[in-house]
Structure 1
Amino acid sequence: MGRAPGGSSLSSSALGSPGHPEHHDNFPRQAAELCAFLRDGFPTDHQFAHLKCLPAPNALRSLWMLGSGGGSAGLAGALGMGLALARFIAPRTCSPTIFDHHAQVLRQSGRSATPARLLAMAVICAETDQQARHIAGTAAYRKMMTSRGSREPLLPPEVVAERVTAMNAADRELFNATLDDMVVGSPEHCRREINELALQFSSRST
C-alpha cells in the first residue's frame, strides 16, 4: 500500500469525494485499520471488529508499504510491514538511512522479525546504452513534464527526441538529469549499476 493514489490532485479529490483528502491526512489511520482487518486484529470494541477477511488472514504472505521517505518508513515499521523504498519516485532523497529508520522503529514496536525491504527502481534496458537512453526518453520526459503539471499521453521516443532538441539549455539539463536518475543502459551496464545500488542499500546494522 502507499500514501499517494497515483494520479493528479484532481483525480485524488475525485477519489476522496465528498471528503477533502488534501486537508486531512487519514493515511496512518487507514493503514493501521487495513492491517488490523487483514490480520484479524481489531479490538473487540472496534466498529469494524465484526468484519472478517477472506481468505483467512493466516493465508496472507506479507504486507508491504511503498514509500520514498522517513514518514512511510516509520509507519511501516510501527505496523510491522515490509518497506518498498520508491527510488523511482525520489532517487535523490532515497538513502540507506531510510531502511535503518524502518528497522529501528520495527524493533521499538516490539517486533523481532527481520526487516523486510526492497528497493524499487526505474530501469530501462536495451541492447546498447544508446538504444536504452533513446527508449527511456519517453519515461524521463513524462516525469519531467508531470512535475510541471502537464500530463500528456506517453510519447514515442522519436517525438521526445525532437522535443529535447528544441529545448532551451536549462530544460535540456533537467531532462538529462531526470534520465540519469534512472538505471538505463545495456544489460551489462544495468547489472553493474543495480549491483552497486544493492550493495549501497544493503543492511548495515540489522
Structure 2
Amino acid sequence: MGGRPVSDAIRGDVKGSAPVPLSVLDLATVGKGSTAAEALRNSVKIAQVAEARGYQRYWVAEHHSMPGVASSSPAVILAHLAAHTERIRLGSGGVMLPNHAPLVIAEQFGTLEAMAPGRIDLGLGRAPGTDGATAAALRRSENLHEGADEFPQQLAELTRFLDDDFPDGHPYARIHAVPGPVQGPPGRPPVWLLGSSGFSARLAATLGLPFAFAHHFSAQNTVPALDLYRESFRPSAVLDRPYAAIGVAALATEEEREARRQVMTGALSMLRLRTGRPGLIPTPEEAEAYQFSELEREFVDGWVRNVVHGTPDAVRDGLDELQKRTGADELMITANAHGGAVRLRSYELIADAYGM
C-alpha cells in the first residue's frame, strides 16, 4: 500500500476528555410514520454533526429486507455523505463480502477513495446481513454456508484487487479494479474485519488488521473475542500492534426517564426482528403500550441492559466503564431510537459530556 502508514488512517486522535476516539455507527433507521428518504437525510445531518463535534469516523452497515433499516447500499450512502462532509472518515461497518464479487467491492471503494481521498474505511463482515431467503436472493445460491466458509479466500482476492498486485500467471493478473490504488498518499482504503464471534477476531489477528466487534448485539462474546484477537495478533505492514473498536448501543437525553422511553423503541424493534416480524421502528408511545409476554420481557430487559443510556453524564460514565472493562481502542456508538432528531441530539450530548 502506497502513501502514509496505514496505521495513521486507523488510529485516531482523542477529542476532549474521552479516553479513546469516539465514532458513529449509523443504521439509517426508519421510524414509524417516516420514510427511508427522511432517514437518509437524517444520516447526512448526523454525519455533519459528528464531523463538527470531533467524532473519529462515521460508518454505515449493510442490511437487506428490513423495512426499518435504510442502509442496504453502503457505497451509495457513503458517496452521498462524502459530498456533504469534508474531514470525517467514512466507511462500511460493514459490507457483507459474501454477498458480492470482490472485484465489485474493490471498484466501489476505489471510486469512493478517488472521491474522498484519505477518508474511506472498508469494513468487511461475513454474515449475510439479513434472513436466509434474502441471502439466497443476493447470492444466487441456496448454500449460504459456502459464502461464509470462503470468506478468507474472498478477502485475499479483494485485497489483491485493491492493491492491484495479482502475481504473473494468475487468472486475474490482467484484471484491474478501476479506479485502482492511488500512487502516493493516501494509497487505498484500509481494510477492517468485523465480527460478533471469534472467527473474524482470529482472522484479523492473523492478518494484522484492525478489528471491530459488534458488542451492541453480542455483548457476552466481547471480552473473549478481544482477548483472542490480542493474543493471536501478528504485526503487519498495516499495524504494528492490535487495534480493536467495539460497536456500542448508547443514547443520551436530558432526562433519564426519557432515555429509557426512547431505548425501548429499539428494543421492541429488535424483538420483532428476532421473532421474524421486522418492521419500522415503533414510536415511544407504541413501545409503552405494548403488552410483553414473560419471555418477551426477559429478552427486552436483557437487550436494554446492554444499551448505555440516561443523562449525558451517566452515558459518559457507562462508556468509560465499558472501555476500561474491554480495553477497546475506539468506541463506535450506535443510537437506538425512533426519531432522527433524538439520535442526533444524543450524539451532541455525548460530545458535550466529553468536552468535544
Instruction: After TM superposition, give the deviation of residue 168 of structure 1 in Å.
Output: 2.5
Q: Within 2, Cα distance between the matches of 1:7 and 1:98? A: 23
Aligned partner of 2:131 among 2, 8, 30: 8
Instruction: After TM superposition, give the deviation of residue 57 of structure 1 in Å.
Output: 5.4
Equivalent residue number for residue 90 of structure 1: 218
Aligned letter for 1:72? S
Equivalent residue number for residue 191 of structure 2: 63
Cα deviation code 1:135-172 (max 9, x no counterpart): 11111111122122221221111101111xx2233322
2:207·2:234 contact (CA, 8 Å) conserved in 1? no
2:166·2:172 contact (CA, 8 Å) conserved in 1? yes
1:116 aligns with 2:249: no
1:184·1:190 contact (CA, 8 Å) conserved in 2? yes
Query: Equivalent residue of 1:89, what SS?
Result: coil
Which range is displaced more, 19-28 or 62-71? 19-28
Q: How many positions carry a matched residue from both structures?
A: 200
Cα deviation code 1:8-31 (max 9, x no counterpart): 2221111001x2342413222212
Equivalent residue number for residue 157 of structure 1: 284
Cα deviation code 1:79-135 (max 9, x no counterpart): 33210011012112211x322322333328898612222111111221122111111
Q: Within 2, Cα distance between the matches of 1:112 and 1:159? A: 47
TM-score, structure 2 as length reference: 0.52
Q: Within 1, Cα distance between the matches of 2:235 and 2:207? A: 11
Equivalent residue number for residue 314 of structure 2: 189
Aligned letter for 1:123? A
Aligned letter for 1:20? E
Equivalent residue number for residue 107 of structure 1: 234
> For residues 70 and 201 of structure 1, do their structure 2 counterparts lie closer, same or farther at Cα, with a shift above 3 Å needed?
same
2:192·2:211 contact (CA, 8 Å) conserved in 1? yes
Which structure would you say has the larger RCO, counting Cα contacts within 8 Å and 6 or more residues apart? Answer: 2
> For residues 51 and 175 of structure 1, do their structure 2 counterparts lie closer, same or farther at Cα, with a shift above 3 Å needed?
same
> For residues 171 and 47 of structure 1, do their structure 2 counterparts lie closer, same or farther at Cα, with a shift above 3 Å needed?
same
1:37 aligns with 2:161: yes
Which structure is higher in strand share?
A: 2
Q: Within 2, Cα distance between the matches of 1:190 and 1:21? A: 43
Aligned letter for 2:272? M
> For residues 34 and 177 of structure 1, do their structure 2 counterparts lie closer, same or farther at Cα, with a shift above 3 Å needed?
same
Q: Within 2, Cα distance between the matches of 1:23 and 1:68? A: 17
Query: Equivalent residue of 1:10, what SS?
Result: helix
1:123·1:184 contact (CA, 8 Å) conserved in 2? yes
Equivalent residue number for residue 202 of structure 1: 327
Equivalent residue number for residue 74 of structure 1: 202
Q: 5+ unaligned residues in a row in structure 2: which ranges?
A: 1-123, 329-356
Instruction: After TM superposition, give the deviation of residue 5 of structure 1 in Å.
Output: 2.7
Cα deviation code 1:27-63 (max 9, x no counterpart): 2221221122213343333222233342415622421
> What's the C-alpha RMSD, in Å, of the aligned pairs?
2.4
> For residues 111 and 66 of structure 1, do their structure 2 counterparts lie closer, same or farther at Cα, with a shift above 3 Å needed?
closer
1:146 aligns with 2:269: no
Query: Equivalent residue of 2:144, what SS?
Result: coil
2:235·2:241 contact (CA, 8 Å) conserved in 1? no
> For residues 157 and 98 of structure 1, do their structure 2 counterparts lie closer, same or farther at Cα, with a shift above 3 Å needed?
same
What percent identity do the matched residue pairs reach?
Answer: 28
